[in-house]
């Protein structure tokens, strides 16, 4: 699909993987809606990119806020790409060492943002894309979701995060099948250990240990590599209904 003169929507677009994706899509010639709860950070990125992007403050799990963000994006042109990067994660065992069960509200919060928020973008973006005129290949748009290697190799303490990301991976194929006749593709990227603000909170020794556990290349992932893959997925019409691990051959140990 030709990305030029089309609109992209990126949730969690003000930082980390989302920020790198916003920049990559703008460099590919798209106009980009930076959807993020942090309006100030989204505005700062939009200023960096000039007329190629604009901020859209929204919580991905809020229906009304996301409808407003999608409608605002569609008013600027046909939405050709949507990328779901917004996500949260907390560490907690199913039952902790003192015998206390996992906080149910915390589990629901992770599911609400990571899974429900992703589906909220998917359904709204797909509905907007169906209104597009198809290109020469019959394509109207592509939606890229973000899972995680934790969907397959969830570690101790990742029960809520792994559940949310596993569900994102699981809905990729049925979503692609649902939207096939509309010319809308659905793909998911499952990143491994990336050098993002979330990881920056760890001590340097912990980050070095994580990098050493990655087979090749033995380093943390660069968010630019995630953004580049999102752009390639958008441009490659034959990628559909699949989850791509982007992890340097990493397989997570139990802890």
Q: Is the peptide bond before 217 cis (omega within 30 degrees of 0)?
A: yes
Q: Is 204 left (phi over 0), alpha (psi -120 to 50) or beta?
A: alpha
Tokens of 170: 């699981």
Per-residue DSSP letter, 15: S
In degrees and rounded to multiples of 5, residue 11 shows phi and psi of -85, 150
State the number of CA atoms in the 13 A half-sphere of 129 facing the CB. 28
Give the integer Cα–Cα distance in Å for 9 and 32. Answer: 6
**Which of 54, 107, 119, 161 is an active site residue?**
161
The residue among 24, 1, 4, 27 whose CA lies nearest residue 13 is 24
Pairing of strands 79-84, 7-11: parallel
Give the integer Cα–Cα distance in Å for 174 and 180. Answer: 10
The residue among 235, 127, 241 whose CA lies nearest residue 185 is 241
238 is catalytic: no
- Catalytically active residues are 161
């Amino acid at each position: 699909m030709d990305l030029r003169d089309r609109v992209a929507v990126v949730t969690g677009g003000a930082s980390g993987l989302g920020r790198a994706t916003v920049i990559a899509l703008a460099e590919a010639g798209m106009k980009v809606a930076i959807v993020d709860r942090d309006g100030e950070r989204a505005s700062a990125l939009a200023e960096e990119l000039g007329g190629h992007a604009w901020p859209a403050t929204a919580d991905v799990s809020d229906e009304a806020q996301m409808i407003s963000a999608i409608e605002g994006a569609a008013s600027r042109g046909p939405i050709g790409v949507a990328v779901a990067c917004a996500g949260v994660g907390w560490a907690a065992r199913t039952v902790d060492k003192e015998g206390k069960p996992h906080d149910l509200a915390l589990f629901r919060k992770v599911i609400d943002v990571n899974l429900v928020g992703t589906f909220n973008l998917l359904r709204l973006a797909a509905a907007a894309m169906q209104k597009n005129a198809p290109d020469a290949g019959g394509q109207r748009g592509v939606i890229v979701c973000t899972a995680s290697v934790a969907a397959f190799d969830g570690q101790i303490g990742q029960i809520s995060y792994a559940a949310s990301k596993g569900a994102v991976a699981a809905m990729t194929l049925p979503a692609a099948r649902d939207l096939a006749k509309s010319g809308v593709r659905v793909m998911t990227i499952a990143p491994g250990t990336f050098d993002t603000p979330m990881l920056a909170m760890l001590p340097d020794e912990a980050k070095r240990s994580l990098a050493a556990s990655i087979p090749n290349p033995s380093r943390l992932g660069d968010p630019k590599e995630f953004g580049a893959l999102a752009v390639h997925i958008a441009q490659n019409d034959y990628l559909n209904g699949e989850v791509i691990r982007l992890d340097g051959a990493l397989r997570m140990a139990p802890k």
